[in-house]
Structure 1
Amino acid sequence: MWIFYFPAVISVLIVTLYFYFTRTFNYWKKRNVRGPEPVVFFGNLKDSALRKKNMGVVMEEMYNMFPEEKVIGIYRMTSPCLLVRDLDVIKHIMIKDFEVFSDRGVEFSKEGLGSNLFHADGETWRALRNRFTPIFTSGKLKNMFYLMHEGADNFIDHVSAECEKNQEFEVHSLLQTYTMSTIAACAFGISYDSIGDKVKALDIVDKIISEPSYAIELDMMYPGLLSKLNLSIFPTAVKNFFKSLVDNIVAQRNGKPSGRNDFMDLILELRQLGEVTSNKYGSSASSLEITDEVICAQAFVFYIAGYETSATTMAYMIYQLALNPDIQNKLIAEVDEVLKANDGKVTYDTVKEMKYLNKAFDETLRMYSIVEPLQRKATRDYKIPGTDVVIEKDTIVLISPRGIHYDPKYYDNPKQFNPDRFDAEEVGKRHPCAYLPFGLGQRNCIGMRFGRLQSLLCITKILSKFRIEPSKNTDRNLQVEPHRGLIGPKGGIRVNIVPRKLVS
């Protein structure tokens, strides 16, 4: 008899699920905020949730759909969020009213690396930021420069040897070998050679962490659930790897700072303090206990930030130099001139001295900002200045650097690689929020100067010895990899690296 009721039960179930997964989809209409039409279950993220497109690309597309709107109402799965387009509103959120939007709003297990500096919120973030900012001062970077330089020389030797066999390279993975060595040396005090058989392990970790898990979508649909269930967005194997790495280094240094002034020395100083406070940013003092989980989480985020983002940015820059030989010629001339004036030596100061090189790097980050989108969470209700829109407490606010960086309102012919956009006069004409590769305000990228320095050093070394040319396999219409959490080239980037002495 039940078989006669089965279709009715299924129909009721389908209708119930439909209404459940669309229950929030009138949120923005009720508030007269325009936005793209959501679809059942996925909201506006169907392509990214199914890994057809990178999240950053999806956000850029939605940014472009409503060119006259200051803000766009969207749905990350079933959660209403706000995509901000207007630069003045962005300035309020990221800088002027930072205290309302100081949190990123990505909560997950503290034991599962959730207390890292990038993801941490509230007083935990303030305490960590307070303590870790000093490691990236100019003085500390100058002290680390010799380690970067050693890694760059080893990298150039490796490329020279490989060029004798084949001049075509997949440069993204190639450059990861350089950034791996510099972050290992500068952060953990491990020389490239001593990593040895750990290289394969690091590659495994990279594959795991660079592909977003569906835990991200679960957090979007049910904000705070991962934290409540003590779940992480990263596999246990990643946590175990970094815990083992930290434990081994701490044991090698007998639990005391070694005098290298690197990341691990700072960790050991924190262990000796026992706890750190967060009163630097004007909040009431709150202490954070430096547990093994906290230490492991910082090791993880420092490694990933220094390893992946710089390698990807350099790969994109090399790609553009291959396609724009006139720009490459100007860069090579500048590198040769500066090195000649400094007895062939590349120093901390000479890297900063190369103005055209720095402009080319900035233009690369305009075209290929790596972390997309920028995300903040409202800690209280907030009325957007100049509008009737109220951002309710706990609402996620998103910003699309790609959308802004490719907006012809701010950059003429935005798909053209043009370092001259970053002449001082041109920069001065633009809105301060029209360039966002490192974020803005107090929660900008803490390691941006480190990443810039290690990248420019490597590019300088490459251009002093080689030319970059398109190969027969160079993709002139690069796509963004949909499976990676960060922006990166789908299928890699293939170019020829040709020793300059062989070029007529």
Structure 2
Amino acid sequence: MESTLRRENIAIVFKKIYEAYPNEKVVGVYRMTTPDLLIRDPDIVKQVMIKDFDIFPDRGIEFDTDGLGANLFHANEKTWRILRNKLTPIFTSGKLKNMLHLIIDRSEHFIKYIENVIQTQTEQEVFQLAQKFTITAISACAFGLDIDITKQDNVMEMLMKLDKRIFTINYATELDMMYPGIVGKLGWSLFPADVKDFFHGLVKQVVSMRNGELTNRQDFMDLILELKQAKRVEEVQSPEKEENISIEITEGLIAAQAFVFYAAGYETSATTLGFMFMQLALNPEVQEKVAVEIKEVLKRHNDKITYEALQEMTYLERVLNETLRLFPVVDPLFRKVGADYKIPGTDVELKKGQTVLVSASGIHHDEKYWPDPSKFDPDRFTPEKSASRHPAVYLPFGIGRRQCIGMRFAKVQSRVCAVRLLQRFRLEPTEHTPRELRYNPDRIVLTIIGGCKLNILPRE
């Protein structure tokens, strides 16, 4: 009810339920009138998300395919399997290396922008700053759009306006909780019509700019053009399966992928960067340790950011991981059971079509797995500690085959931004920096009300 009345963010609601039953492996919950199951035990999380994935392939949040519902995140099992196979190649290390120069170029514009704004006001809201960077980076890498953050840009203004339209929860979600599947059956969408129209238009614009032909960029839109030319794609099944499954490549399906790549590519990274900058300002000793590592690693690479240099910044990686532990921005995780299923180690039985949920925030703040869980401590992620930890107690990108496909891109994008910023600037808290966080109940992702203001000061 707290989430439905928009009094509390849904991630915090399920975190509180998780914490209220410390001795239970699973907890029965109602989302509106629909009975679901919250999983608390990491062994069961691993069983459901990995070992028995074929019984839990869907997220259980389906809506009109022409209304962007065929996107890789929300798509049903059939569509997801084919699209995942076709889109995975864009996130190989080779492709990320090819995109890196685009991200670096956007980061240089980002630094110029910061230099300009702090001349008049050193105190800045860092979540919005991070958004400006990630919007330009994902637009360049996915769509080949050159948005200059230092100048007035109509596309940037439009994308910033779309943010609320995309990430504000609407009551179609609650309706689907009361009557599971009704949103899809009625042909409705979880997103307003202008969001759908924008991404349909964006795809047409980029396709027109490329004359409908593949380029040598080998980016997201090249993959989309390849799919568009194929008109229909299929998944090759194993020999024991009787026939292959296929999907038609429609304009709606293409627009849906553009939507999810853009939305997930900028918002989750921007929010994570905002939380990371806040924690670095509040923990100056950690910030200086990161700054020293950046300087030392870049010195070995002729002061150039390379893919290999980013991999060597292991302490920065720990800082990013610890930020994601404290603030898993996509939470809770959902899976719909495809057949009647008995939860291992319990007497609980699920009926086909029911949904299980996992509270990433609950698990990430459980002192059984994370001693002193509210403390910001990047050294939780040393190789030794990470290797000894249960694989299902760290879930910022999900786990198993439906883990976030863009995880590696998100980490590269975030690290480039952090490197550029900490090379040039020092972050300090102000009297307006929040110490007690109030999470926004209207947002799909975990964000804080009012953002976070920090002083951004030249390092030299």
TM-score by length of 1: 0.89
- Supply the AA of the counterpart residue of 2:346: T
Quick one: distance in 2 between partners of 1:443 and 1:114?
Answer: 16
Match of 1:438 in 2: 397
- Supply the AA of the counterpart residue of 2:52: D
Match of 1:147 in 2: 102
Is contact 1:124–1:278 with CA below 8 Å preserved after alignment?
A: no
**Displacement of 1:279:** 3.2
- Supply the AA of the counterpart residue of 1:168: E
**Displacement of 1:196:** 2.2
**Displacement of 1:427:** 1.0
**Displacement of 1:258:** 1.5
**Displacement of 1:438:** 0.4
Structure 2 matches for 1:218-297, cutoff 5 A? 218-279=175-236, 285-297=244-256
**Displacement of 1:366:** 0.2
Percent identity of the aligned residues? 50
Match of 1:164 in 2: 119
Residues 89-128 of structure 1: CA distance to partner in whole angstroms, max 9, x if unpaired?
Answer: 0000000000000100111111111100000012111111
Match of 1:16 in 2: none
Structure 2 matches for 1:5-84, cutoff 5 A? 46-84=1-39
- Supply the AA of the counterpart residue of 1:247: K
Is contact 1:130–1:280 with CA below 8 Å preserved after alignment?
A: no
Is contact 2:342–2:349 with CA below 8 Å preserved after alignment?
A: yes
What secondary structure is seen at the aligned counterpart in 2 of 1:443? coil
Residues 215-258 of structure 1: CA distance to partner in whole angstroms, max 9, x if unpaired?
Answer: 00001110111111111111100000111111111111111112
Q: Note if 1:183 corresponds to 2:142.
A: no
Match of 1:107 in 2: 62
What secondary structure is seen at the aligned counterpart in 2 of 1:47? coil
Quick one: distance in 2 between partners of 1:281 and 1:229?
Answer: 35
- Supply the AA of the counterpart residue of 2:386: V
Q: How many residues are aligned here? A: 456
Q: 1:364 aligns with which of 323, 333, 349?
A: 323
**Displacement of 1:417:** 0.3
Residues 179-224 of structure 1: CA distance to partner in whole angstroms, max 9, x if unpaired?
Answer: 0100000000011139921222112211111101000000111011
Per mean C-alpha deviation after superposition, the further-off stretch among 74-83 and 481-490 is 481-490
Quick one: distance in 2 between partners of 1:327 and 1:254?
Answer: 49
**Displacement of 1:447:** 0.2
Quick one: distance in 1 between partners of 2:88 and 2:236?
Answer: 14
Unmatched tracts of structure 2, length 5 or more: none
Is contact 2:58–2:77 with CA below 8 Å preserved after alignment?
A: yes
- Supply the AA of the counterpart residue of 2:309: T
Is contact 1:108–1:233 with CA below 8 Å preserved after alignment?
A: yes
- Supply the AA of the counterpart residue of 1:463: L
**Displacement of 1:173:** 0.6
Quick one: distance in 1 between partners of 2:22 and 2:55?
Answer: 26
Per mean C-alpha deviation after superposition, the further-off stretch among 157-166 and 261-270 is 157-166
- Supply the AA of the counterpart residue of 1:495: L
Quick one: distance in 1 between partners of 2:218 and 2:12?
Answer: 39
Larger radius of gyration: 1
Match of 1:13 in 2: none
**Displacement of 1:287:** 0.6
Q: 1:352 aligns with which of 306, 311, 314?
A: 311
Quick one: distance in 2 between partners of 1:231 and 1:470?
Answer: 44
**Displacement of 1:370:** 0.6
Quick one: distance in 1 between partners of 2:237 and 2:327?
Answer: 33
Is contact 1:338–1:354 with CA below 8 Å preserved after alignment?
A: yes
Q: Note if 1:425 corresponds to 2:384.
A: yes
Is contact 1:383–1:389 with CA below 8 Å preserved after alignment?
A: yes
Is contact 2:147–2:156 with CA below 8 Å preserved after alignment?
A: no
Structure 2 matches for 1:110-149, cutoff 5 A? 110-149=65-104
Residues 56-106 of structure 1: CA distance to partner in whole angstroms, max 9, x if unpaired?
Answer: 000000000100000000000000000000000000000000000010011
Give 4+ residue runs of structure 1 displaced > 6 Å after superposition. 280-283
Is contact 2:60–2:336 with CA below 8 Å preserved after alignment?
A: yes
What secondary structure is seen at the aligned counterpart in 2 of 1:82? strand
Unmatched tracts of structure 1, length 5 or more: 1-45
Q: Note if 1:478 corresponds to 2:437.
A: yes
Per mean C-alpha deviation after superposition, the further-off stretch among 296-305 and 422-431 is 422-431
Is contact 2:140–2:146 with CA below 8 Å preserved after alignment?
A: yes
Is contact 2:147–2:155 with CA below 8 Å preserved after alignment?
A: no
Quick one: distance in 1 between partners of 2:225 and 2:156?
Answer: 25
Q: Note if 1:303 corresponds to 2:268.
A: no
Is contact 2:272–2:324 with CA below 8 Å preserved after alignment?
A: yes
Match of 1:212 in 2: 169
Is contact 1:128–1:278 with CA below 8 Å preserved after alignment?
A: no
What secondary structure is seen at the aligned counterpart in 2 of 1:141? helix
Q: 1:336 aligns with which of 287, 290, 295?
A: 295
What secondary structure is seen at the aligned counterpart in 2 of 1:178? helix
- Supply the AA of the counterpart residue of 1:248: Q
Structure 2 matches for 1:80-95, cutoff 5 A? 80-95=35-50
Quick one: distance in 1 between partners of 2:387 and 2:219?
Answer: 36
What secondary structure is seen at the aligned counterpart in 1 of 2:401? helix
**Displacement of 1:388:** 1.4
Q: 1:314 aligns with which of 273, 281, 285?
A: 273
- Supply the AA of the counterpart residue of 2:85: N
Quick one: distance in 2 between partners of 1:232 and 1:158?
Answer: 37
Quick one: distance in 2 between partners of 1:62 and 1:277?
Answer: 42
**Displacement of 1:281:** 8.3
**Displacement of 1:161:** 1.5
Quick one: distance in 1 between partners of 2:82 and 2:102?
Answer: 28
Match of 1:11 in 2: none
- Supply the AA of the counterpart residue of 1:201: M
What secondary structure is seen at the aligned counterpart in 1 of 2:68? helix
What's the C-alpha RMSD, in Å, of the aligned pairs? Answer: 1.2
Per mean C-alpha deviation after superposition, the further-off stretch among 284-293 and 186-195 is 186-195
What secondary structure is seen at the aligned counterpart in 1 of 2:285? helix
**Displacement of 1:389:** 1.1
Is contact 1:127–1:279 with CA below 8 Å preserved after alignment?
A: no
Match of 1:6 in 2: none
Given the superposition, is the C-alpha separation of residues 329 and 258 from structure 1 closer, same or farther in structure 2, using an over 3 Å criterion?
Answer: same
What secondary structure is seen at the aligned counterpart in 2 of 1:441? coil
Is contact 1:172–1:311 with CA below 8 Å preserved after alignment?
A: yes
Given the superposition, is the C-alpha separation of residues 281 and 172 from structure 1 closer, same or farther in structure 2, using an over 3 Å criterion?
Answer: farther
Is contact 1:278–1:286 with CA below 8 Å preserved after alignment?
A: yes
Per mean C-alpha deviation after superposition, the further-off stretch among 196-205 and 87-96 is 196-205
Quick one: distance in 2 between partners of 1:308 and 1:420?
Answer: 26
Q: Note if 1:200 corresponds to 2:119.
A: no
